[in-house]
């Protein structure tokens, strides 16, 4: 009886450590350099994703907007919030790029073409980025202390079970979608 | 009280539950990623991504490319436009070339780093006193070529020369047979059948991208005849293996087969008939090692799927054909009725600024005191023997080169020219009537000197006046202005005549557009067949009957052929191209000598053996590769950018070095 208790206690501790402790130990948080409300831009300013995350003339994706893009509207403070003041004073006026921490940053051995996925395959931004475009504030950036990857690559759920389509950006997630769509890419389609 | 057994049970329970937690799986995944991302692995700097449209100028195919930039750094090269989804490994890695180990970052004098002024002073001293100065422009037709001409003309005693331009040899032979009435070009866009004799049309030839696209659609049938199973041979629908040196005999045999099917009305037919009669198919068969039926079958293929064109020129490594061979290949086009016909060989307007150049091999032997050899945009292999036989004793050679390889490494002085992507470059192909410009996308290192800067400095030291606008960019703009004022052709899908100003054409060109010329008005070309005059007849028969020089045969039983591709003379290859070559076997890597297994067995050699390939001119150590595709009693020497094995070849007075007799021994 006593032996059984200790055996199950050990098992329970391990399960607790694995499912609860591991994510806490594995991921560290880092604050974004500036808070940003997608909601204000989408709802109030009636902008869509491509207003800032645009495609260049040659079809390639510009990614995170550069400061001159922000400066087009925020050359002067729009509103009185501390964030707005910080944006103008610290970044727009000295023309300094904001060092955004990108939740969906892929490793350097991977290439991903937004143009092919959005324009050709007609995927919605939400398919991979969820409701990020409607958030009122930026959640802290979390990174894996071992691999250095953003937590969004593995996904919020440590088990990777019962995930929404946008939770997780590992190779398996890409391949699942490619299988679902019948899109052949081969190794060099995504890897350099 | 906690007992030892309790602790054991606690540990046992933990271990038993471990597989039920994400710990092993997650940590395994993370650690494997960690091992791929060691902190000391350099990570490319982030920056703004953009793509600059350009053209590849490493060979004369002139494929349209997009150069992907991060801020001001080129990070990759990708195909665009009519290149059908792919560019070669050389172009793919072209952005790596500025960092190539053999890249020169400073000029050299007597093998030591020197400033450009020191080189200029030494060249000026060598050129003073009315000594003969020659310029060898290995890629004529460029804006820089015009500047070389201006310099040579200002010098007075200077000669501007070019090597034999293989791609236009058949056309020039035809132009001569047309009495010089018109300039000609191949109508690749409409040809139905193309017989390439040695010519690597899909592998670095001007306009290769368009031909590759048509081949992929099955719109053109390609037949290749030659002594080696080249990439062109592999990509053609039919490969006709010829005994080394028998191209001329092959042309005469095929001419006989075509005439047997019914010869068209053409001037000089009777004289040509008598050549064919004196060189029957059976003789051609014996010399080429082809069956007589092959000639008749090939003739049926060409006439049955017309318009058909025959292209000579030889491949990049083994150099041009003799003039007689080109004349006979040109005659095949006349027999096929392809001259002046859509899909065959059509007229073209004269290239703006096109001028007849003196060939290097036309200079008297041992006559050049100072040689300025431009190797910046080479692409031809050129054996040292071809250059050295024209040099006077103690001649001063200055090479303008990006790489300290090939002939540049033998020169007394080297001007360190900018690398690809560091300076304006262009693709000008008169025979194709196309022109495109590649802008500089990368800042060149401090110690490098542009060829025009070197010439201007040399002119200053020699007290010459070169006139205003002596710069590559000015010359390029001048050419664009001349094209605009002539209102010829189109660029970026817009006719030039609809462009308001020359600046619009220049803008389109500098953003990667290609200018293509208008077609010439149809002219009555009336070509004559060669052989009308007795001496002409004898000359052609002599070429057809000649093989390799028999006097040098003893003790050297194997026919040595140089093989390579457009980059054979380019000096350096990017690591990516070399990796692809070595690992894929798509191309034979440089430094390999290939033999047929039967020939190798007879010599007691096996694959991988280090061997010495010897000719009368010297020897070269190589690694032996066995290949069923190599003809018996032949050895193929693969060339690299430095053209290492070319010193084994003797160049004839006509500037050809098709084959040499060799022996191969274990090293």
A38-46 average pLDDT score: 88
CA A189 to the chain's CA centroid: 22
- In a mutational test of the A interface, the residue from B33, B71, B85 whose CB has the highest number of chain A CBs within 10 Å is B33
For residue A13, list chain B residues with Cβ-Cβ distance below 8 A.
10, 13-14
For residue B26, list chain A residues with Cβ-Cβ distance below 8 A.
22, 26, 154, 158
- CA atoms of A125 and B321, how far apart (whole Å): 60
Contacts of B647 (CB under 8 A, 6+ apart): B383, B384, B385, B617, B618, B620
- In a mutational test of the A interface, the residue from B17, B42, B52, B511 whose CB has the highest number of chain A CBs within 10 Å is B17
Residue of B556, B562, B551, B554 whose CA lies nearest to B661:
B556
- CA atoms of B217 and B210, how far apart (whole Å): 11
Domains defined for chain B, CATH in brackets: 4-35 (no CATH), 49-99 (2.20.25), 107-162+359-432+434-464 (3.40.50.740), 166-348 (3.40.228.10), 548-666 (2.40.40.20)
- CA atoms of B527 and B333, how far apart (whole Å): 10
Q: Looking at residue A24, what is its pLDDT? A: 94
The H or E element that residue A127 is part of is: helix A126-129
Residue of B234, B235, B276, B231 whose CA lies nearest to B257:
B276
- In angstroms, what separates the C-alpha of B428 from chain A's closest C-alpha? 26
Q: Looking at residue B378, what is its pLDDT? A: 60
CA B142 to the chain's CA centroid: 15
Distances (CA, A) of B249 to B5, B287, B634: 96, 7, 18
- Record: contact B20-A15, CB cut-off 8 A: yes
Chain A residue whose CA is closest to B9: A7
Phi-psi region of A186 (alpha: psi -120 to 50; beta: other; left: phi over 0): left
* C-beta separation of A144 from A24 below 8 A: no
Distances (CA, A) of A109 to A105, A171, A191, B44, B68: 12, 12, 6, 11, 16
- CA atoms of B226 and B199, how far apart (whole Å): 8
Cross-chain CB nearest to B26 (options A14, A22, A66): A22
Residue of B282, B255, B172 whose CA lies nearest to B531:
B255
- Record: contact A18-B49, CB cut-off 8 A: no
For helices B247-260 and B292-304, angle between their N-to-C axes, nearest 10 degrees? 60
* C-beta separation of B272 from B529 below 8 A: yes
- In angstroms, what separates the C-alpha of A83 from chain B's closest C-alpha? 25
Q: Looking at residue B451, what is its pLDDT? A: 95
For B472-494, write each residue's pLDDT tens digit.
999 999 989 989 998 888 998 89
- CA atoms of B628 and B647, how far apart (whole Å): 26
- CA atoms of B428 and B434, how far apart (whole Å): 6
- Torsion, CA B523, CA B524, CA B530, CA B534, rounded to 10: -130
- In angstroms, what separates the C-alpha of B11 from chain A's closest C-alpha? 6
- In angstroms, what separates the C-alpha of B579 from chain A's closest C-alpha? 15
CB proximity A19 to B under 8 Å:
yes
For residue A21, list chain B residues with Cβ-Cβ distance below 8 A.
none
For B521-573, write each residue's pLDDT tens digit.
656 778 889 887 778 888 888 888 876 545 456 788 898 988 877 655 556 77
- CA atoms of B256 and B279, how far apart (whole Å): 8
For residue A146, list chain B residues with Cβ-Cβ distance below 8 A.
27, 30-31, 33-34
Residue written as token pair 């990516």: B576
Chain B residue whose CA is closest to A22: B23
Residues of B with CB under 8 A from a CB of A: 5-7, 9-18, 20-23, 26-27, 29-31, 33-34, 36-37, 43-44, 48-51, 53, 66, 76
For residue B7, list chain A residues with Cβ-Cβ distance below 8 A.
6
Strand order in the sheet with B391-401: B112-114, B107-109, B413-416, B391-401, B368-374, B133-137, B158-162, B358-359
Quote the radius of gyration of chain B (alpha carbons, Å): 28
- In a mutational test of the B interface, the residue from A3, A5, A12, A67 whose CB has the highest number of chain B CBs within 10 Å is A3
- In a mutational test of the A interface, the residue from B21, B96, B580 whose CB has the highest number of chain A CBs within 10 Å is B21
- CA atoms of B485 and B477, how far apart (whole Å): 12
For B172-213, write each residue's pLDDT tens digit.
999 999 888 788 888 888 899 999 999 988 887 877 777 888
- In angstroms, what separates the C-alpha of B105 from chain A's closest C-alpha? 30
Cross-chain CB nearest to B21 (options A10, A18, A148): A18
Q: Which residues pair with B613 in a beta bridge?
A: B620, B664
User: Which pLDDT band, with edges at 50, 70 and 90, does A112 fall under?
Assistant: confident
- Record: contact A9-B18, CB cut-off 8 A: no
Question: What's the mean per-residue pLDDT of chain B?
Answer: 87
| φ, ψ dihedrals at B555, nearest 5° | 80, -10
Report yes or no on whether pTM surpasses 0.80: no
- CA atoms of B416 and B581, how far apart (whole Å): 28
CB proximity A161 to B under 8 Å:
no
- Beta-carbon neighbour count of residue B280 at 10 Å? 14
So what's the ipTM on this one? 0.87
CA A183 to the chain's CA centroid: 24
CB proximity A15 to B under 8 Å:
yes
Strand order in the sheet with B49-55: B49-55, B64-70, B73-79
Q: Which residues pair with B162 in a beta bridge?
A: B359
- Record: contact A11-B17, CB cut-off 8 A: yes
CA B136 to the chain's CA centroid: 16
- CA atoms of B294 and B562, how far apart (whole Å): 26
Cross-chain CB nearest to A19 (options B5, B16, B22): B22
Does the CA dihedral B469-B470-B475-B476 come out positive or negative? negative
- Record: contact A14-B18, CB cut-off 8 A: yes
- In angstroms, what separates the C-alpha of A80 from chain B's closest C-alpha? 31
User: Which pLDDT band, with edges at 50, 70 and 90, does A62 fall under?
Assistant: confident
Q: Where are the beta strands (DSSP E) in B132-289?
A: 133-137, 158-162, 183-186, 193-197, 221-226, 238-241
Q: Which residues pair with B667 in a beta bridge?
A: none
For residue A114, list chain B residues with Cβ-Cβ distance below 8 A.
none
- Record: contact A144-B30, CB cut-off 8 A: yes
The H or E element that residue B666 is part of is: strand B659-666
Cα angle B443-B444-B449, degrees, rounded to a multiple of 5: 145
**β-strands B592-595, B634-638: how paired?**
antiparallel
- Record: contact B6-A147, CB cut-off 8 A: no
Residue of B421, B425, B435, B417 whose CA lies nearest to B513:
B435
- Record: contact B50-A56, CB cut-off 8 A: yes
- Record: contact A18-B43, CB cut-off 8 A: no
Residue written as token pair 């008169």: B430
For residue A22, list chain B residues with Cβ-Cβ distance below 8 A.
21-23, 26
- In angstroms, what separates the C-alpha of B201 from chain A's closest C-alpha? 28
Chain B residue whose CA is closest to A148: B34
Residue of B286, B280, B217 whose CA lies nearest to B253:
B280
**β-strands B391-401, A141-144: how paired?**
unpaired
- CA atoms of B292 and B404, how far apart (whole Å): 49
Q: Looking at residue B571, what is its pLDDT? A: 64
The H or E element that residue B120 is part of is: helix B116-127
Contacts of B379 (CB under 8 A, 6+ apart): B58, B59, B60, B138, B139, B204, B316, B566, B567, B568, B569, B570
Q: Looking at residue A29, what is its pLDDT? A: 94
- In a mutational test of the B interface, the residue from A2, A5, A10 whose CB has the highest number of chain B CBs within 10 Å is A10
Q: What is the DSSP string of B610-643?
A: EEEEEETTEEEEEEEEE-TTSPTTEEEEE--TT-
Q: Which residues of chain B are under the pLDDT cut of 50?
A: 549, 551
User: What letter does residue B517 receive in the DSSP assignment?
Assistant: P
Q: Within 13 Å, how many C-alpha atoms sit on residue A69's CB side?
A: 15
Cross-chain CB nearest to B13 (options A2, A7, A26): A7
Q: Number of Cβ pairs closer than 8 Å across A and B?
A: 102
For residue A192, list chain B residues with Cβ-Cβ distance below 8 A.
76
Q: Looking at residue A50, what is its pLDDT? A: 85
């Amino acid at each position: 009886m006593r032996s059984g208790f200790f055996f199950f206690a050990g098992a329970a501790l391990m399960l607790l450590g694995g499912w609860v402790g591991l994510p806490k130990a594995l991921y560290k948080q880092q604050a974004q350099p500036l808070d940003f409300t997608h909601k204000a831009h989408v709802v109030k300013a009636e902008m869509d994703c491509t207003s800032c995350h645009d495609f260049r003339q040659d079809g390639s994706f510009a990614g995170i907007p550069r400061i001159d893009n922000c400066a087009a509207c925020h050359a002067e403070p729009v509103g009185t919030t501390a964030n707005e003041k910080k944006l103008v004073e610290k970044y727009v006026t000295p023309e300094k790029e904001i060092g955004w921490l990108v939740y969906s940053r892929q490793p350097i051995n991977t290439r991903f073409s937004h143009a092919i996925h959005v324009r050709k395959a007609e995927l919605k931004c939400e398919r991979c980025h969820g409701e990020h475009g409607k958030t009122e504030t930026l959640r802290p950036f979390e990174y894996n202390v071992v691999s250095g990857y953003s937590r969004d690559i593995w996904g919020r759920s440590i088990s990777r079970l019962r995930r929404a389509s946008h939770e997780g950006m590992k190779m398996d997630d890409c391949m699942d979608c490619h299988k679902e769509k019948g899109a052949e890419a081969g190794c060099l389609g995504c890897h350099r | 009280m906690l007992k030892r057994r309790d602790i054991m049970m606690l540990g046992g329970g933990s271990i038993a539950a471990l597989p039920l937690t994400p710990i092993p799986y997650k940590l395994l995944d993370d650690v494997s990623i960690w091992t791929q991302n060691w902190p000391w692995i350099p990570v490319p700097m982030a920056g703004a991504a953009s793509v600059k449209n350009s053209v590849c100028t490493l060979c004369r195919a002139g494929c349209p490319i997009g150069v992907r930039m991060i801020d001001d750094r080129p990070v990759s090269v990708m195909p665009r436009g009519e290149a059908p989804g792919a560019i070669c490994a050389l172009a793919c890695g072209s952005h790596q070339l500025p960092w190539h180990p053999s890249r020169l970052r400073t000029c050299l004098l007597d093998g030591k780093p020197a400033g450009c002024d020191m080189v200029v002073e030494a060249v000026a001293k060598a050129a003073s006193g009315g000594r003969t100065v020659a310029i060898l422009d290995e890629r004529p037709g460029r804006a820089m070529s015009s500047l070389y001409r201006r310099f040579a003309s200002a010098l007075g005693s200077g000669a501007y020369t070019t090597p034999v331009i293989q791609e236009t040899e058949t056309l020039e032979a035809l132009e001569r047979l047309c009495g010089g009435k018109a300039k000609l070009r191949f109508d690749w866009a409409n040809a139905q059948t193309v017989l390439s004799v040695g010519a690597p049309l899909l592998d670095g030839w001007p306009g290769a991208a368009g031909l590759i696209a048509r081949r992929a659609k099955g719109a053109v049938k390609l037949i290749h005849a030659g002594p080696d199973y080249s990439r062109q041979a592999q990509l053609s629908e039919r490969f006709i293996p010829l005994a080394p040196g028998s191209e001329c005999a092959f042309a005469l045999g095929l001419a006989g087969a075509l005439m047997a099917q019914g010869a068209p009305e053409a001037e000089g037919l009777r004289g040509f008939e008598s050549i064919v009669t004196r060189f029957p198919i059976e003789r051609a068969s014996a010399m080429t090692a082809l069956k007589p039926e092959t000639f008749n079958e090939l003739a049926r293929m060409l006439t049955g799927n017309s318009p058909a064109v025959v292209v000579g020129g030889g491949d990049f490594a083994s150099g041009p054909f003799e003039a007689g061979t080109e004349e006979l290949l040109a005659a095949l086009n006349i027999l096929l009725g392809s001259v002046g016909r859509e899909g065959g060989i059509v007229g073209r307007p004269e290239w703006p600024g096109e001028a007849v150049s003196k060939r290097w091999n036309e200079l008297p032997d041992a006559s050049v005191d100072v040689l300025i050899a431009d190797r910046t945009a080479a692409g031809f292999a050129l054996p040292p023997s071809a250059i050295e036989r024209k040099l006077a004793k103690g001649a001063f050679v200055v090479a303008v080169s990006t790489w300290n390889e090939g002939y540049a490494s033998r020169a007394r002085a080297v001007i360190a020219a900018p690398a690809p992507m560091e300076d304006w470059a262009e693709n000008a192909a008169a025979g194709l009537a196309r022109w495109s410009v590649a802008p500089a996308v990368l800042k060149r290192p401090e110690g490098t000197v542009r060829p025009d800067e070197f010439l201007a400095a040399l002119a200053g030291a020699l007290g010459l006046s070169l006139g205003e606008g002596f710069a590559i960019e000015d010359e390029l703009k001048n050419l664009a202005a001349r094209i605009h004022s002539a209102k010829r052709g189109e660029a970026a899908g817009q006719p030039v005549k609809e462009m308001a100003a020359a600046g619009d054409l220049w803008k389109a060109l500098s953003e990667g557009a290609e200018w293509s010329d208008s077609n010439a008005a149809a002219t009555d070309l009336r070509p004559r067949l060669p052989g009308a005059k007795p001496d002409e007849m004898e000359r052609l028969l002599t070429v057809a009957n000649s093989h390799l020089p028999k006097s040098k045969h003893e003790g050297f039983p194997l026919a040595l052929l140089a093989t390579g591709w457009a980059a054979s003379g380019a000096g350096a290859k990017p690591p990516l191209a070399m990796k692809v070559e070595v690992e894929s076997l798509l191309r034979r890597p440089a430094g390999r000598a290939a033999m047929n297994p039967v020939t190798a067995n007879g010599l007691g050699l096996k694959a991988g053996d280090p061997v010495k390939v010897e000719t009368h001119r010297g020897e070269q150590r190589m690694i032996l590769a066995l290949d069923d595709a190599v003809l018996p009693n032949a050895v193929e020497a693969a060339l690299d950018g430095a053209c290492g094995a070319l010193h084994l070849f003797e160049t004839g007075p006509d500037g050809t070095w098709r084959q040499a007799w060799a022996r191969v021994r274990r090293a």
